[in-house]
Chain A
Amino acid sequence: MRHTWQLVGVALLIVLLRADVAHAHSPALLCADQPYAVTDATVSRALYGVFHAPDQVFVITMHPATRIALPFEILVPHRDELRDHRPAYAIVARGLPRPSPDVAARLPRPLPDGAGVFIDWNDAPTREVEFESFLRRVYWSSGTIAVLVPAGDVEIWVWSPRGTTGKFVLGFGVEEGGIDYGDVLDHWSDYAY
């Protein structure tokens, strides 16, 4: 019995120590009906959404004070029914390259005047598979890429070019320690799968 309590105590100590050094993105839920505002582009994010209809567009806004280099990727739960689910994302801002008319026509909405775009179509023949250590789930990834996000008004659009529905996660930034895990436990089924 005494050893059991000692084991529990040591286990708790290890968990606390690990939590102190654990790194994660700051999680939040996206809703297709309203833009999600990123207040601080320097804090990394994992934004969870669900396409319930093929024509939905998720919008994220941010306003970096200076141009900032951030890794981006989009993840889909590694499940058979989502094998063809490949949401795309576009970073829309002044200072990014202007797309050709053909490419612009494939975007889910017209570009604002003067804006350019970085697009990840998430169409690589073979997708990377990632183990996400925060929720401990396995995902297909579009492939992470470092993007120069201009200063000023920036929008990120997430849509489903193939019209598929289902869950996705847009991740950007580099995981930091000391992240506020917010309402993850209260809305576990929205975050995990």
Chain B
Amino acid sequence: MCRFLAIAALGAAAALAGCGRVNQSASCREFVACVRAQDAVDGVTTDATRFEPDGDCWGGPDIAELCDRSCVHGTAQLRADHSTLACAVTP
């Protein structure tokens, strides 16, 4: 009985381990930098919390992957809309 429950608990822990947080991606670091650069031009503060290092984007690998692609396209769009936007991020 105890052995059985121990194995089950390990299984549950393994299942949950896949839901751990991941680090902010490079593309989203660049996207947030571009948003802040545009904020400085426009004199506003954009709510970009979900893309920031502690944001919901990094709550698990699936969401992180989606956010990463979203940031790649979002940064390209920002640069297309604002050709003079300076927001390079050094690695």
Given A14-B12, A133-B62, A145-B73, CB of A68 within 8 Å of CB of B47:
yes
B19 interfacial contact with A, CB 8 Å: yes
Among residues of B, the one whose C-beta sits closest to the C-beta of A175 is B63
B47 touches A21 (CB 8 A): no
Evaluate whether A23 and B44 lie within 8 angstroms (CB atoms) in the complex, with A3-B4, A10-B5, A146-B74 already known: no
Contact B59 A23 (CB under 8 A): yes
Determine if A174 and B57 form an interchain contact, defined as CB atoms under 8 angstroms apart: yes
Instruction: Give the A interface residue count (CB, 8 A).
Output: 33
Least Cβ–Cβ distance between A21 and chain B, in angstroms:
5
Q: Is the CB of A69 within 8 A of B5?
A: no
Which residues in chain B, 44-72, are within 8 Å of chain A measured between CB atoms?
Answer: 44-48, 50-51, 55-57, 59-60, 62-63, 66-67, 69-71
Q: Is the contact region of chain B dominated by helix, strand, or loop, or is it mixed?
A: helix
Number of A-B contacts (CB under 8 A): 94
Residue among A6, A21, A174 making CB contact with B55, cutoff 8 Å? A174
Contact with B along A97-136 (1 / 0, CB 8 A): 1000000000000000000001000000000000001000
Q: In the complex, what's the smallest C-beta–C-beta distance from B58 to chain A, in angstroms?
A: 10
Contact B44 A151 (CB under 8 A): yes
Question: Are B70 and A145 closer than 8 Å at their CB atoms?
Answer: yes
Instruction: Give the contacts of A14-28 with B (CB-CB under 8 A).
Output: 14, 17-18, 21, 23
Tell me whether B23 is interfacial, beta carbon within 8 Å.
no
B31 proximity list for chain A (CB < 8 A): 69, 146
Task: Determine if B56 and A144 form an interchain contact, defined as CB atoms under 8 angstroms apart.
Answer: no
> Which of chain A's residues has its CB closest to B35's CB?
A69
Q: Please encode chain A, from 69 to 86, with 1 for each CB lying within 8 Å of some chain B CB and 0 for all others.
A: 111010000000000000
User: Is residue A162 contacting chain B, with contact meaning CB distance below 8 A?
Assistant: no
Docked-complex contact A14 and B11, CB < 8 angstroms: yes
Taking CB atoms and an 8 Å cut-off, the chain A residues in 160-193 that contact chain B are: 173-177
Write out the residue numbers on chain B whose beta carbons fall within 8 Å of the beta carbon of A151.
Answer: 44
A143 contacts across to B, CB distance below 8 A: 69, 73
Task: Give the B-binding residues of A (Cβ under 8 A).
Answer: 3, 6, 10, 13-14, 17-18, 21, 23, 42, 64, 66-71, 73, 97, 118, 133, 143-148, 151, 173-177
Interface residues of chain B, those whose CB is within 8 Å of chain A, are 1, 4-5, 8, 11-12, 15-16, 19, 31, 35, 38-39, 42, 44-48, 50-51, 55-57, 59-60, 62-63, 66-67, 69-71, 73-75, 77-78, 81
